[in-house]
Structure 1
Amino acid sequence: MSVPVTILCGELGAGKTTLLSRLLEEDEREIAVLVNDVGAVNVDADLVEARTDLTTGEEVLALENGCICCSLGSELSRSVIQLWKEHDFEYLVVEASGVGEPEPIARQFIRGPAGGPYDLDAVVTVVDARRFYDRFGDNTVAAPPAQQGADETGSRPLGDLLLEQIEFCDLLVVNKCDLVSDAEREQVVALLETLQPRAEVVTTEYGTVDPAMLLDSGRFDLEAASDAAGWKQMIQADAAHDGSPPESSSDEHDHGDNDHNHGHDDHSHDHHDHVHPPERYGIEVDTYHRRRPFHPERFLAVLADLPAGLVRAKGLCWIAGRERQAITMSYAGTETCLEVTGRWIASLSDERQAAFRESQPDLSWDEKWGDRETRLALIGRHLSMDDLRARLDDCLLTDAEMDAEWSSLENPAPTGMGDTTVVGDDGS
């Protein structure tokens, strides 16, 4: 019989270890724990061992100096399989690093070797209510300095990683609610429900959560979790309204958002069928879709000066001078990450283009530019979407620039698969 697994995510200091320690104290099942910390000293593992009196440490399998979903990804599968072979336990909890992406971890238990002895039950993300409100809920408060910038690899903003943890989960535990007012807590919950409409949200203090919420809940569904993010649902709804397919199955794209069906100057935006959060929270959601490329310098200048109320912007963008590269734009509170996540079908050989278009007969196709486009989801508080769209429109190439040589443009946008360019609100 497969052993059920709960993956516990959340940024550093959100209270994952406190929640886990309470869980181990309150639940009577024999629970194995895998803890990962990216620091030189595995503090989280030490805490878990101390709170559960595991003097030998055998039941706690801690991986040091790395992230279990990337550099130590293969070690995760080997370790949990070895744990299953050598120990008798009823449940496994994986506490991911604060900079761990949950989806790659989850896939190891679904499609990797660990999927044999284990059954993924839930992905839980713990959110620090005070820190989340200060970063995303209050337009006048900047993100804490320690949380700004890229992660240890220098490539991913921590705010972006936090929102990915929120957008790929089944349960959101809003912790440290004693540090926010009731009004602030309500705004945090409303924003989280907008960012991740599928997940249940639980508010708490000091990591106190009913074990039944965390264990044997049967919440996880890979397909549903992969499409659950609010930004992705907005883009799919927008594409469906346009009559284009909601998601591309092309192997040339790793972004899943390559939906194309507008003319170059389609500025329509008031037809969306999205479910809007209560207006009293001031939350705005919208999409931006154009079939004309951004001027790279003007576009990056806007990214360096986005409105304070913008919480999330994500999707696919077309940047002049990058005719092959499908670039995903991901903005999270203070920084924007531009990453090459695939190729436009129009950049392939005629033979491969024909094959893809035959397999996707509903794919909208411009005779000159093919499937190239920009389609972004926008989520914010107390900001004018009209003004933001106008600023983005000012970044589009003019008619004269459309006829000019794009290769001569100064272009800091990434070029290779997986390459990133990070732009901060301060222009850095």
Structure 2
Amino acid sequence: MLSVVIVGGLHADARKAAVDRLLADVPGSVVLHHDLATAAAGTVVRTVRDGSGLLSAGETPLVNDCACCALREDLVPELRRLADDGTTRLAIVELWDSVEPKAMAEVVTAGGLMVTGVITAVDPALVLPYLGNGDDLAERGLAAAATDQRTVADTFARQLEYAPVLAVTDSEEADDEDRELLTQLHPTARQVPIGPGDPAGAADATASARSPLARAALAGFDVEAAAAAQHPACALLPAEADAHGVSTLVWHRDRPFHPERLYEALEDITCAAARSRGRFWLADRPDTLLHWDAAGGALCVESVGPWLASLPDAAWDMVPPVRRAAAALDWHPEHGDCCQHLVFTSPALDRDGLERLLESCLLTDAEYAAGRSAWKQLPPAFDTLLEV
């Protein structure tokens, strides 16, 4: 059966180096790439190549004025064609710069094909600059659709955190702080170095078996587990860390935020760290689980449904086991899984100052003692952010 590995990332040079390494290390591999740069002209250009060069090229029209939609419509048939041909061992799907691997992995799997790996290629020297870049993708010519409102920072963060494998270039510009930041942002990822050596050194299946990147590409990938690891209710968030000038603060509290005080502090909290994420609890919406996702000085807040504590017992059977397990870890005898669980990662993080600021946004003892009926009467400061 055809194996499919997805290789993505905004660091184009690193991505191309990872793809070329795989192409050389795995005999019988081909690379599929959809270039979305031509989307403004109404088409997406698809190329297929192997180690000897270009095998085919073609154009596919936009679907609903969306380049990513065109990619989805065209990718699975091309992969099926390769699978039916029977001569390809590994299909390397090289994503265009701003395309996120989660969507493509789910599309390929839904198409009945086997994703055996998802890799994000990274230049460690560029992690902090990209994570701090609040520019819209459209401003950089990287938007995948006219309606694409993503930023460079939040797109890069999702690309980085979704992949279980990071192909890391041997960058002369990177220092220990850069490498530590990468590690703390995604501590469970397997980092595979891709150096400047001759990728043509692996010419047979034995060499392929020795290649760390090739093994990672063929190791297997669980789409459902990967989605669960990113879901705000049960996300696998980084742990406390402090090394080489980079810190990760895990802030966990059982008391809800006062909506107005938190709203007034949002800018300071968001700008306190290069990356922050997690789930949080507002007093005026005590039953709603809220997602916190910040990078590049910009914050996205969204409702992701109810806390489990607010659901009737009969509804628990419809909740995935991983969600129930995550809730059990945070369970409070009075509030259930309602909590604050936010994680902040950054060089030069002012941990003490950030903790004081966060604590000041919680309900006071008197406000807390007033109970839920009183909490719900607090001013709904987040209505605009949550588009109520």
Q: Aligned-pair distance for 1:177? A: 1.8
Alignment partners' CA distance in 2, 1:205 and 1:146: 32
Q: CA deviation at 1:10?
A: 0.2
Measured in 1, the distance between the counterparts of 2:157 and 2:220 equals: 18
Partners of 1:258 and 1:80 lie apart in 2 by 31
Output the CA distance in 2 between the equivalents of 1:33 and 1:329: 36
What SS does the aligned partner of 1:193 have?
helix
Q: Which residue of 2 aligns with 1:168?
A: 162
Residue 385 (structure 1) aligned with residue 351 (structure 2)? yes
CA distance in 2, matches of 1:351, 1:93: 44
> Contact 1:36–1:45 (CA<8 Å) still a contact in 2?
yes
Corresponding position: 1:85 with 2:84: yes
The one-letter code matched in structure 2 to 1:126 is A
Other-structure match for 2:121: 126
What's 1:186 paired with?
A: 176
CA separation in 2, counterparts of 1:105 and 1:210?
30
Q: Matched residue of 1:310: which SS?
A: coil
The amino acid that maps onto 1:386 is D
Q: Secondary structure at the match of 1:189?
A: helix
Mapped contact 1:31–1:90 kept (Cα < 8 A): yes
CA–CA distance in 1 between the matches of 2:170 and 2:137? 17
Cα distance in 2 for partners of 1:311, 1:210 equals 39
Other-structure match for 2:339: 373
Looking at structure 2, the residues matched to 302 and 106 of structure 1 have their Cα atoms a distance apart, in angstroms, of 37
* Residue pairs, 1:4-403, within 5 angstroms: 4-11=3-10, 13-17=12-16, 19-21=18-20, 24=23, 26=24, 29-41=27-39, 45=46, 53-54=53-54, 56-57=56-57, 66=66, 73=72, 76-86=75-85, 88-110=87-109, 112-115=110-113, 118=114, 120-135=115-130, 143=133, 145=135, 153-175=147-169, 177-178=171-172, 180=173, 184-197=174-187, 198-202=189-193, 204=195, 212-217=211-216, 218-222=218-222, 226=226, 254-257=231-234, 274=239, 276=241, 279=243, 281-306=244-269, 310-349=273-312, 351-352=314-315, 362=328, 364-367=331-334, 369-402=335-368, 403=370
For 2:205, the equivalent position in structure 1 comes to: none
- CA distance 1:257–1:21, shift in 2 (3 Å): closer
Q: Deviations over 1:151-196 (max 9, x none)?
A: 6545544322212222222432234724x1xxx3332222212222
Three-state SS of the structure 1 residue aligned to 2:91 is strand
TM-score by length of 1: 0.67
Query: Quick check: 2:30–2:51 contact (8 Å CA) kept in 1?
Result: no
CA distance in 1, matches of 2:310, 2:70: 32
Note closer, same or farther for the CA distance 1:390–1:72 as it changes in structure 2 (3 Å cut): same
The change in CA–CA distance for 1:176 and 1:298 in structure 2 (over 3 A counts) is farther
1:406 aligns with 2:384: no
Residue type at the aligned position of 1:106: A
Contact 2:134 2:152 in 1 (8 A): no
Q: Structure 1's 166 and 386: CA in aligned 2 closer, same or farther, altered over 3 A?
A: same
Q: CA deviation at 1:114?
A: 2.6
Q: Is the 8 Å Cα contact of residues 7 and 96 (structure 1) preserved in structure 2?
A: yes
Would you say how many aligned residue pairs link Structure 1 and Structure 2?
358
More helix by share: 2
Which one-letter code corresponds to 1:282 in the other structure?
Answer: G
Evaluate the alpha carbon distance shift between residue 284 and residue 157 of structure 1 in structure 2; reply closer, same or farther with a 3 A threshold.
Answer: same
TM-aligned CA deviation for residue 6 of structure 1 = 1.6
SS of 1:305 mapped into structure 2: helix
Q: Distance in 2 between matches of 1:194 and 1:77?
A: 34
Taking the aligned partners of 1:21 and 1:222, their CA distance within structure 2 comes to 25
Identity %, equivalent residues? 24
Opposite residue 173 of structure 1, the aligned amino acid is A
Distance 1:336 1:129, change over 3 A: same
CA shift in 2, pair 1:385/1:321, >3 Å: same
1:268 matched to which residue of 2? none
Deviation at 1:94, TM superposition (A): 0.7
Give TM-score scaled by structure 2 length: 0.73
Tell me: CA distance 1:201–1:91, structure 2 relative to 1, closer, same or farther (3 Å): closer
SS of 2:104's equivalent?
Answer: helix
Partner Cα distance (1:144, 1:205) in 2: 31
Q: CA deviation at 1:8?
A: 0.4
The corresponding residue for 1:426 is none
Q: In structure 2, do the counterparts of structure 1 residues 52 and 355 end up closer, same or farther at CA, with 3 Å as the change threshold?
A: closer
SS at match of 1:39: helix
Q: Partner of 1:294: helix, strand, or coil?
A: coil
Range with greater deviation from structure 2 (309-318 or 145-154):
145-154
Compared CA separation, residues 95 and 285, structure 1 to 2 (3 A):
same
Q: Give the Å deviation of 1:385.
A: 1.4
Which ranges in structure 2 are unaligned for 5 or more consecutive residues?
203-210
User: For 2:255, what is the secondary structure of its paired residue?
Assistant: coil
Per-residue CA shift, 1:113-163, capped at 9, x if unaligned?
A: 333xx3x33221112344324345xxxxx5374669996545544322212
